């Protein structure tokens, strides 16, 4: 048996040597360039495109089966004939021969040099590679009952091993031309290098390129380094130590250059289980750093991702400066110095929600949740709570003397009017905002609640302040955007609010004190603030208890007028330059931005005032006339009140700077009025008509 066995081994060895010799000699006697027409014809038959092989083809069979090419070009689709679809300067691909016999594929380094791809889409949305992807799909084989069974790869068809020595792409270029959007992008200096690739083993991957957008003239330099591993079934992919850097330059880029870096410790994708896991993600751009840990499920059928996300503390002011964004004027130069955000992300293809949100802005903390239910028709939902917000820190410096008189609901309406009408019409949102403390325009509020519901062009808000200068506030606003101009309806009410501390905080001084109860019902229409204010119509009711008006001593004004008429010395004893009223009430109508009050009534133990006038909401101008009576005794059931003196006072100026003037003629008794009328008639007869009018005007004296 020994001799036959040796003969067999010798024969096999001789056959192997003969095969090796034959394979080695074949490239010497067979010129692959002779088959260029057949190669081009095969490509034409399969793709309908022309393949031009200008370079030399080189064939090797042992120990590597492979081919090297020179310059070649593939023609474009029929509607894109202005340039070739792809051109290549050099390529080299080889497969080791002997491992193929045991179903092992070992590929040497694949090298492509000077690749140029011209990708395009016409105005009809057809791309120049659509025809290459239209090849028919393999139909499943029919079953015995006429149905079709899924084709599954049999174990015998699987490769025992697969390895690539590496891939090299040098100096490639991709040109993208989208005629629909008129977008043109050029990717140049595209280079790709990979380490040896084997199933289940990590292989290093390095990519670099430069992308230029012709419209914006923005250039992006991209560098990517990672380690990629793939299992033999091609359904589990893993990336480790991923590092991506993008440097953006251009005239419109803040600082003309901005670098963004993304690092990820691990990315695991299991397509069979439809799961994904992203660990150690960190995105940094300038001063801002975002970190995340995400898990994905049903990534093919119904993708969903969730996990914690955080943005480390940074200075918004510095970021705005780096991004060449003008900082807004603000009362506190240290405002916008610190911002951090933490939340749990829950996102799908149709929605996203930020749960367990914690936002810290300077000294304010905001907690809650924010979500978008439907990306196609965005529906925003939110529930937020802030502990202490000093809004004045972020507002421009304000002149206390020129502060506008407004209410929370009107302020909300003005804010809404700052947005385009189309935006308001499309707004779909519902949620609540609450605050422990709020300071705005130097006014202090506690326990604030706001409810918002906006849908189908109608916006409704309900706002309340449970602690507002020892009283409370309740308001409701409706904005209807269905017409050509938004219309609004406002209902507001304040109860038991202390006027003195409110006015002192708001205006810096308090010329009036008391406890006020008031309510308003307003309607308005307009696109701009001035237009909105000038269109306001509605009704106002007010009642002020135990009020004190400082800088306005009504009794002193009357006494001074009477002394002037009598020619006696003016009274000087008016240490308390103020007027006290036990009650002050009235109603008013509001039309076209003018508040008209015709039933002002104010009472005290010594005074009774009736008046009427108006306030211009646009200019805040005052125009009031009041009739004041000094009472000697209060009225009783048996005896009417005894009037000690009376006067007519004119109030002008503005809400912040009112002025007062007294009609001295109103202080005259009937007897004195008759004497003056006779005197004026005599003067007119002797000196001429009109002189008496001068005397009448002289009898009016302004008091401030």
In order of 411, 413, 523, 533, 536, the CA distances from 529 in angstroms are 10, 9, 14, 6, 11
Which among 21-35, 370-384, 565-579 has the top mean pLDDT?
370-384
- Residue 467: which pLDDT band, with cuts at 50, 70 and 90? very high
Q: What does the H/E/C string look like for 427-455?
A: CCEEEEEEEEEEEECCEEEEEEEEEEEEE
- The beta-strand segments (E) located in 58-166 are 58-60, 64-69, 72-74, 86-88, 90-96, 104-107, 110-113, 116-121, 161-164
Radius of gyration over every alpha carbon of the chain, rounded to an integer in angstroms? 44
Give the whole-angstrom CA distance, residue 599 versus residue 585: 8
Name the nearest CA neighbour of 197 among 189, 186, 205. Answer: 205
- Residue 352: which pLDDT band, with cuts at 50, 70 and 90? very high
**Is the Cα torsion angle 443, 448, 452, 458 positive or negative in sign?**
negative
Q: How many C-beta atoms surround the C-beta of residue 370 within 10 A?
A: 17
Cis ω on the peptide bond leading into residue 63 (within 30° of 0)? yes
**At CA 680, angle to CA 678 and CA 686, rounded to 5?**
105
Query: What mean pLDDT comes out for the span 625-635?
Result: 72
Contact (CB, 8 A) for 578 and 549: yes
CA 540 centroid distance within chain: 37
Q: Which residue has the higher pLDDT, 242 or 632?
A: 242
CB burial string 279-289: b at 16+ within 10 A, e below: eebebbbebbe
Which among 380-394, 510-524, 566-580, 639-653 has the top mean pLDDT?
380-394
Name the nearest CA neighbour of 364 among 438, 308, 431. Answer: 438
Summarize pLDDT for 52-91 with one digit per residue, the tens. 888 877 766 555 556 777 888 888 888 887 789 889 898 8
Q: Which element (helix H / strand E) includes 648? A: strand 642-653
pLDDT exceeds cutoff 80 at 439: yes
Mean pLDDT of the chain: 79
Burial, 153: exposed, middle or buried (Cβ in 10 Å; 0-12, 13-18, 19+)? exposed
Domain boundaries, the chain: 21-127+159-198, 273-397, 536-703
Summarize pLDDT for 192-241 with one digit per residue, the tens. 999 888 888 899 999 999 999 888 889 999 999 999 999 988 899 999 99
φ, ψ at 131 (rounded to 5°): -65, -25
Number of H-type helices and E-type strands within the chain: 10, 38
In order of 160, 410, 520, 536, 598, the CA distances from 587 in angstroms are 94, 20, 10, 16, 7
pLDDT exceeds cutoff 50 at 19: no
Tokens of 570: 């003016």
Contact (CB, 8 A) for 274 and 297: yes
Give the whole-angstrom CA distance, residue 552 versus residue 580: 10
| Residue 695: per-residue pLDDT | 45
């Amino acid at each position: 048996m020994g001799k036959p066995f040796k003969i067999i081994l010798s024969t096999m060895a001789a056959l192997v040597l003969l095969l090796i010799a034959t394979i080695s000699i074949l490239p010497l006697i067979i010129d692959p360039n002779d088959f260029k027409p057949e190669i081009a014809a095969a490509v034409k038959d399969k793709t309908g495109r022309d393949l031009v092989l200008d370079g030399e083809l080189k064939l090797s069979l042992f120990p590597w089966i492979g081919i090297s090419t020179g310059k070649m070009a593939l023609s474009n689709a029929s509607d894109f004939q202005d340039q070739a679809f792809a051109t290549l300067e050099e390529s080299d691909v080889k497969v080791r021969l002997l491992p193929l016999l045991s179903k092992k594929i070992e590929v040497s380094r694949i090298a492509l040099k000077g690749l140029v791809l011209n990708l395009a889409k016409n105005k009809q949305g057809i791309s120049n590679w659509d025809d290459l992807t239209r090849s028919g799909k393999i139909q499943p084989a029919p079953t015995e009952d006429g149905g079709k069974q899924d084709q599954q790869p049999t174990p015998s068809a699987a490769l025992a091993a697969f390895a690539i020595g590496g891939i090299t792409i040098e100096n490639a270029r991709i040109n993208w031309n989208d005629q629909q959007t008129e977008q043109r992008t050029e990717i140049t200096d595209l280079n790709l290098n990979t380490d040896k690739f084997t199933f289940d083993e990590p292989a290093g991957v390095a990519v670099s390129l430069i992308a230029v957008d012709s419209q914006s003239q923005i250039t992006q330099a991209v560098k990517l380094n990672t380690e990629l591993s793939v299992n033999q079934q091609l359904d589990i992919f893993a990336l480790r130590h991923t590092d991506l850097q993008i440097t953006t330059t251009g005239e419109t880029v803040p600082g003309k250059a901005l670098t963004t870096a993304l690092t990820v410790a691990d990315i695991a994708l299991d397509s069979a289980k439809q799961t994904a896991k992203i660990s150690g993600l960190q995105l940094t751009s300038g001063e801002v750093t975002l970190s995340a840990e995400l898990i994905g499920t049903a990534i093919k059928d119904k993708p969903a991702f969730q996990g914690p996300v955080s943005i480390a503390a940074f200075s918004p002011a510095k970021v705005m400066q780096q991004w060449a964004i003008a900082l807004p004027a603000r009362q506190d130069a240290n405002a916008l110095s610190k911002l951090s955000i933490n939340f749990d992300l829950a996102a799908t293809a149709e929605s996203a929600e930020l749960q367990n949100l914690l936002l810290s802005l300077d000294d304010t903390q905001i907690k809650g949740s924010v979500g978008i239910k439907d990306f196609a028709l965005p529906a925003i939902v939110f529930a937020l709570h802030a502990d202490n917000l000093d809004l004045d820190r972020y507002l421009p410096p304000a002149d206390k003397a020129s502060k506008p008189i407004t209410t929370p609901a009107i302020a909300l309406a003005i804010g809404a009017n700052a947005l385009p009408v189309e935006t308001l019409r499309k707004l779909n949102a519902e949620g609540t905002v609450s605050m422990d403390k709020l300071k705005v325009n130097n006014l202090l509020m506690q326990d604030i609640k706001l409810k918002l519901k906006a849908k189908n062009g109608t916006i409704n808000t309900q706002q309340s302040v449970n602690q507002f200068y020892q009283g409370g506030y309740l308001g409701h606003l409706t904005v209807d955007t269905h017409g050509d101009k938004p219309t609004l309806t406002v209902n507001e009410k304040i109860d038991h609010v202390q006027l003195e501390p409110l006015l002192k905080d708001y205006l810096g001084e308090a010329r009036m004190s008391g406890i006020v109860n008031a309510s308003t019902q307003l309607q308005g229409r307009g696109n701009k603030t001035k237009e909105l204010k000038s269109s306001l119509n509605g009704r106002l009711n007010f009642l002020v208890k135990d009020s004190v008006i400082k800088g306005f001593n009504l009794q002193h004004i009357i006494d001074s007028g009477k002394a002037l008429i009598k020619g006696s010395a003016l009274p000087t004893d008016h240490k308390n330059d103020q007027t006290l009223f036990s009650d002050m009430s009235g109603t008013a109508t509001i039309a076209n931005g003018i508040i008209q009050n015709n039933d002002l009534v104010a009472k005290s133990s010594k005074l009774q005032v009736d008046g009427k006038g108006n306030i211009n909401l646009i200019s805040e101008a005052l125009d009031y006339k009041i009739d004041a009576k000094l009472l000697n005794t209060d009225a009783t059931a048996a005896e009417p009140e005894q009037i000690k003196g009376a006067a007519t006072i004119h109030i002008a100026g503005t809400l912040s700077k009112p002025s007062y003037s007294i009609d001295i003629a109103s202080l005259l008794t009937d007897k004195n009025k008759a004497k003056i009328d006779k005197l004026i008639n005599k003067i007119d007869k002797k000196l001429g008509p009109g002189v008496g009018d001068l005397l009448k005007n002289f009898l009016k004296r302004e008091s401030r």
